[in-house]
Homo-oligomer: A and B are copies of this chain.
Amino acid sequence: MIKTAVILAGGEGKRLRPYTEELPKALIKVAGRELLYRIMKQLQEEGVEKFVIVINERFKEKIEKFLRENNFKAEVVPNPNPEKENGYSLYLAKDRVKGRFAVVMSDHVYEKEFIKEAIKGEGLIVDRMGLYIDRNEATKVKCEEGKIKEIGKEIKDYDGFDTGFFVLNDEIFKKAEELLKETDKLTMSQLAKYAELPCTEVSGYFWMDIDTPEDIEKARKLIVKTAIKGAGDGFISRNLNRKISTRISPYLVERFTPNQVTIYTFLLGLFSAFVAYFSPALGGILLQISSVLDGLDGEIARARMQTTKFGAWLDSLLDRYVDFAFLTALTFHMKPSWEFMPWVFLALFGTLMVSYSTERYKGAYCEDAYVVIKELRYLLGKRDERIFLIMIFTLFGWLKALLVLLALITNIRVLLTIYLVWKKKGNV
């Protein structure tokens, strides 16, 4: 269990000027949050409690202000000689850490799952694939018998890429000392090779280093794209809605707060219900659009690391209002006979109960039903699928069939949910 992390933020950020005239690279915002905020928050979520930040001496106050404003506790180690490279920066943390600790480059961005895996490793974390980085620019690594053999930007025969994430112990400072007797400058690469650090492979996740303004743009898009994982999406959401919304959210992520997006998509949903009373087809299209956009608030919130339980709670409630408003507007448009009305009531009830049953599960067990009972992910009837069906059927004017279908799909789903939960959790 790694509880300490050293963040190396001693560099000069030459290629990011003019951003970095006044700010250290670590405080540059990407997708709404500073690089340093992102890495500290992610490490905290994996259990790191103690932070040591090595910073270019001239930015010491700015870093301390940032820490205060964001309620972070950290030891700040000023580096008066940033030109001596990042290995020297690490050496400056010598008396501040004991035992095992993570070392992370502050100018890198990582996705949550990478940090989760990397922090369980040893030595240098190596990514065999480097899916998102500029491979020409990246530092390559050759490992032999589980240890670093060669490391550098120019090596031809390599196994993977240096992710800028290390898990070390305080022996590393002895090695750094030995090297610094011979030389003035010391890079992490030189130190890693000299210390014959172990290689741990963690491949395929999103990570990259931020060197240029283009990198900031690229990172923004990828942060949003990778922020949607595990969000309990249905078939339509995964294959259609998210493909659209994740193209939009990068442009919004720095302009809107998640709660603003929640309210706007809610108003659009209500408007689609209003329109459906007059024209179901048009209403259905607007509803589908609102369903696509409805993913945005979550994407933006996750990308900005601004997810709040309140935001999620409110978003769910407003979705129920839209579901209800649309179905009743459709019903008022149809004014069906009393013979048909049972289907209407069942569709309304089933629609609300799909959400109720899984939310009540979470209230009972404090765990996500979709995580614990995997079959639930594959049953039809989630909101994205229902709304897509609504759009198709209203387009063709098959209104009665739509209500019958919704009534069946949703209520069967709820009954199956009861069965699956009983199987998993009942009579224990």
Contact = CB atoms under 8 A, between A and B. Distances in A.
Given A314-B418, A332-B338, A362-B363, A356 B320 contact: yes
Interface of A: 259, 308-310, 312-314, 316-317, 320, 324, 328, 331-332, 335, 338, 341-342, 345, 348-349, 352-353, 355-357, 359-366, 414, 418, 421-422, 425-428
Contact of A313 (B310, B316, B320, B421): B421
Contact of A349 (B324, B335, B357, B418): B324
A411 to B, nearest CB: 10
Contacts of A317: 353, 356-357, 360, 414, 418
- This chain: copies in complex: 2
A324 B353 CA distance: 11
Given A352-B356, A361-B313, A418-B317, A428 B308 contact: yes
A312 B328 CA distance: 31
Contacts of A259: 427
Nearest to A317: B357
A310 B421 contact: yes
Contacts of A360: 313, 316-317, 359, 363
Nearest to A327: B345
Output the residue of A316, A335, A363, A427 with the most chain B CB within 10 A. A363
A359 B363 contact: yes
24 contacts: A309-B365, A309-B425, A310-B427, A310-B428, A313-B365, A313-B421, A316-B360, A317-B418, A320-B353, A320-B356, A324-B349, A328-B345, A331-B345, A335-B338, A349-B352, A352-B352, A352-B353, A352-B356, A355-B356, A356-B356, A356-B359, A359-B363, A360-B363, A366-B366
Contact of A364 (B313, B331, B345, B427): B313
Given A356-B355, A356-B359, A312 B364 contact: yes
A288 B71 CA distance: 53
